[in-house]
Amino acid sequence: MSAKSVLNLTSLKEQVYHYLRDQMQKGKIKPGSVIKMESTCQKLGISKTPLRDALIQLEMEGFVTILPRQGVYVNRLELQDIKEYYQVIGALENKALLEASGKMGKPDIKRMEKLTLEMRSALKRDNFDLYYKKNLKFHDVFLQLCGNKILKKTVDMLKKRLYDFPRLKSYVKEWEESSIEEHLYLIGFLFEGKFKEAARYIRDVHWSFEVQEKYIKRYYFHDEEKQKIRD
């Protein structure tokens, strides 16, 4: 290769994938843009094979659409997409919580409570990155306990699509505060052993598009709303 590779040769496809995801998260690869194979290969100093393999993975995760002989289109996240993601995640986490019910003990529930309080502490310090990490760990408690690796992998992939592209620096504080209260309400069900009620709550409230829609629009489409006001 004429250009010096900026990537380690080990697991090249994975490194190309993570490079592209990092560029997406930072907003350097924007929704609606086109990824050009030739120029990307030259920039990274690689052949087309690892790039193509990384793009196939990104297409499977919903981040791009590969158009034969046209290029690779970076998908926008539309409101209907978000609605469908919420419906699927809600259904899967409902199932996960029911499956985890026979394995979940008080130490697990106390861990969820501790993570929720840590989320509240992070939010008070305006540390959204820490809040986000604690939030994922909260859900991972029962996602791990459910014992279904494919279910968890699917949920993780959908959450990446919702939250990581691009990762917005701003956030809707009222939404995060509401989410914390929902976590505490859910924990109350779990401490009482009401797993069916908890599972319904996580599907019909926590992951309800209709319940969360006002926050979703403020977070994902804030710039569009500001443009409407200016117009």
pLDDT tens-digit series, residues 46-89: 999 999 999 999 999 999 999 987 889 999 999 999 999 999 99
Architecture of domain 12-74: Orthogonal Bundle (1.10)
pTM assigned to the model: 0.86
d(Cα 11, Cα 15) in Å, to the nearest integer?
Answer: 6
Q: Judge whether 12-74 and 79-230 match in fold.
A: no
pLDDT tens-digit series, residues 194-231: 999 999 999 999 999 999 999 999 999 875 544 343 33
What is the predicted pLDDT for the residue at 32?
93
Mean pLDDT of 30-42: 93
Contact status, residue 60 vs residue 19, Cβ threshold 8 Å:
no
Domain ranges of the chain: 12-74, 79-230
What is the predicted pLDDT for the residue at 5?
56
Per-residue pLDDT at 1 exceeds 80: no
* CB within 8 Å of 191: residues ≥ 6 apart: 106, 109
- CATH fold for domain 79-230: Four Helix Bundle (Hemerythrin (Met), subunit A) (1.20.120)
Contact status, residue 38 vs residue 180, Cβ threshold 8 Å:
no
